[in-house]
Amino acid sequence: MAPSPTPGRTGGRSRTGGTRGGSTRAGSTRTGSTRATPGLVDDRRPAPSYEAAGGDWSEIAEEAARLGEERIVVNMGPQHPSTHGVLRLMLEIDGETVTEARAGIGYLHTGIEKNMEFRTWTQGVTFCTRMDYLAPLFQETAYCLAVEKLLGITDDVPERATVIRVLMMELNRISSHLVCLATGGNELGATTIMTVGFTAREEILRVFELITGLRMNHAYIRPGGVAQDIPPGALDTVREALVGVRTYMGQLQDLMLANPIFRARLVGVGQLNLSACMALGITGPVLRSTGLPYDVRKASPYCGYETYDFDVPTSTDEDAFCRVVLRIEECYQSMRIVEQCLDRLQASGPGPVMVADKKVAWPAQLAIGADGMGNSLDHIREIMGTSMEALIHHFKLVTEGFRVPAGQVYQSVEAPRGELLAHLVSDGGTRPYRAHFRDPSFNNLQAVSMMCEGGQVADVVVAVASLDPVMGGVDR
C-alpha cells in the first residue's frame, strides 16, 4: 500500500499495468507497467510532476492535476496472496480509506464453455469440473443433471448413484469451506489457522482419491450415474475421516471464534444487507448472513435432498465474522448429511450405479489402477476377445458419443459459494450446441465495491475473503 502524500510532495505511486494499452512518458513509451512518480516541489519547479503508463492511469493523473487533488490509485493483485487467486483489485485511496474499489477479472479465462461445444456430452464433464477447482463435484452434478433432463432419464438413474452423488457433494462442501477458512486466516496473518484447515481438508481429499482415483477435477459423476461404485471398505474410511475432521473443526473454532484479535478484524467489516444481496444476485453464505434461509437443496430439491435431515444456518449480523460462523456450521450440517448417506449405502448394499441403457452408460466399466482410473482390463479383454459387436459399440460410444434430443434445460444446485446453474442447449447431436454456467463467485464479486468503499485498506482483504471467490469459476 502506498503511503499518503507528505507535505512538500505531490502525486502518488501505483504499481499496476494499464488496462487500455498505451502509455505516456516524456521521451519514451512503455507498456505493461504504470507508475505515478511524485515530484519534489521547490522554488525551481513549483508545478507537480506526473508520470503514468496506461490509459486509465493517464486519465486519472490528468484529472487529478486539473482538479488540484492528490489521489492515490493502487493495485491489489492479480498476484497478491490476499486476492484469493488471480483477482485484480483497483483501489483509489485517501490515506487509509478506500474511496473507490473496482475488480478486474479475466486473467484465468480458459474457454471452458466454448471448448465443451467441441466435445461429446460425456467429455464435457472433464471440462466443467475444472471451473471452480475447489468444488468440482458440484459442477459435475449440475451438468449431468441437466443432460439427464434432456435425455429424459432422470428417474432411471439408480438410487445408489444418487446417494453417492450427495455423499461426494457434501464432502466437497466441507473441503471447500475449509479452504475458505484456512486461506482467510492466513491472509490475516494467522498461519496456524491455515495449517489446521488444510490438514483437515487432507482427510477428505484422501477419501476422494480412494473413490474417484483423483484428489480434484474428478470427472467422477457422469450422465446416467457415476463412473463406478465406491470400493470395498470406503464407507468405514469415510466414517474415520469424519472423526478427524470434527477434531480439526473444533480446533478451528477455538483459533477463530474465541480469538479476540480475529474477532476485532472481522466483526462489523464487509457488511452487506439483504436488499444489496437481492439487487446483485448474491447467494450462498453471504446471502444467508443477512437472515434469508435460501438454499437450493430446500427451495428446489434435487438428488433426493428433500429426504435428508439437515438445517440451513442463518445470521442477521451481515458481516465477515458471521460468515465464518455460518461456514463452520454448514460443515457440521454437511457431516450430518454424509452420515445419513453412509447409512443408506450400507443398508442397500452393492448395486448398479449407472443407467441400464448401454447407449448412454459410458464408459462401460472402470477400475482404479496404479496410474489412476481407467477402463477395466477385464472388460477390455472380454469385448476384444469374445464380442466384436461389443467392441464396435464401445468404440463408437467413446469416439462419437450418444445423441441428446434437441432442446434446452436449466439446472441449479447449491454449491459452497451459492447457487450454481447450468444452461445447456442441444441441437440433437452428440455435442452440446451451447453450455453456459452461472457461477456464484462471478455474481458475488459484484459486492466488492459496496463492501470496501468507505472502509480501511486492511479491511479489503477481510471483505474479499468473506466472499470466498474462486477465480477459475469466475473467468471459466
Q: What is the pLDDT of residues 81-91, one digit of tens each?
A: 666 778 888 88
Confidence of residue 373 (pLDDT cuts 50, 70, 90): low
pLDDT at 177: 93
Which of these ranges, 23-32, 161-170, 289-298, 352-361, has the smallest mean pLDDT? Answer: 23-32
Q: What is the per-residue pLDDT for 413?
A: 93
Q: Rank 1-15, 236-250, 345-359, 443-457 by mean pLDDT and report only the highest.
A: 236-250
Give the type of residue at 114: K
The pLDDT-based confidence of 371 (bands split at 50, 70, 90) is: low
Location of C-alpha cell 458475488: 444
The x, y and z cell numbers of residue 229, run together, are 461404485
CA 476 to chain centre: 10
* Higher-scoring residue by pLDDT: 386, 55: 386
- The arithmetic mean of pLDDT across residues 156-178, rounded, is 93
Residue 345 pLDDT class (50, 70, 90 cuts): very high
Q: pLDDT at position 331, please?
A: 94
Cell digits for 124?
464435457
Q: Please determine, for residue 235, whether its predicted confidence score (pLDDT) is greater than 60.
A: yes
Lowest mean pLDDT segment, chosen from 76-90, 161-175, 208-222, 262-276: 76-90
Least confident range of 58-62, 99-103, 239-243, 400-404: 58-62
User: Is the pLDDT confidence value at 32 over 70?
Assistant: no
What's the pLDDT band for 329 if we cut at 50, 70, 90? very high
**pLDDT of res. 409:** 92
Q: Report which of residues 41 and 174 the model is more confident about.
A: 174
Question: Percent of the chain at pLDDT above 70?
Answer: 81
Cα 217 from Cα 210, distance rounded (Å): 14
Mean pLDDT value across residues 177-190: 88
The larger pLDDT score, comparing residue 34 to residue 316, is at 316
pLDDT of residue 368: 64
Q: What is the mean pLDDT of residues 102-128?
A: 88
Report the pLDDT averaged over residues 201-230. Answer: 89
Residue 434 CA to residue 425 CA, distance in Å, equals: 5
| Averaged pLDDT for residues 386-397 | 76
pLDDT at 61: 64
Give the pLDDT confidence score for residue 13 in this predicted structure. Answer: 37
**Fold (CATH) for 121-362+401-475:** Cytochrome-c3 Hydrogenase; chain B (1.10.645)
The yes-or-no verdict on residue 186 having pLDDT over 90 is: no
Average pLDDT in the chain: 81
What local confidence, expressed as pLDDT, does residue 4 receive?
Answer: 42
Lowest mean pLDDT, pick from 20-34, 272-286, 436-450? 20-34
Over residues 458-470, mean pLDDT: 88
Nearest CA to 474 out of 446, 432, 435 is that of 446
Is pLDDT of 256 > 50? yes
Identify the residue with better confidence: 254 or 13: 254
* Average pLDDT rounded to a whole number, residues 298-319: 91
Question: For position 401, what pLDDT does the model report?
Answer: 80
Average pLDDT value for residue range 120-133: 88
Q: Please report, rounded to a whole number, the percentage of residues in the chain having pLDDT higher than 90.
A: 35
Q: How many other β-carbons are positioned within 10 Å of the β-carbon of residue 366?
A: 20
Would you list the domain boundaries of the chain? Answer: 9-104, 121-362+401-475
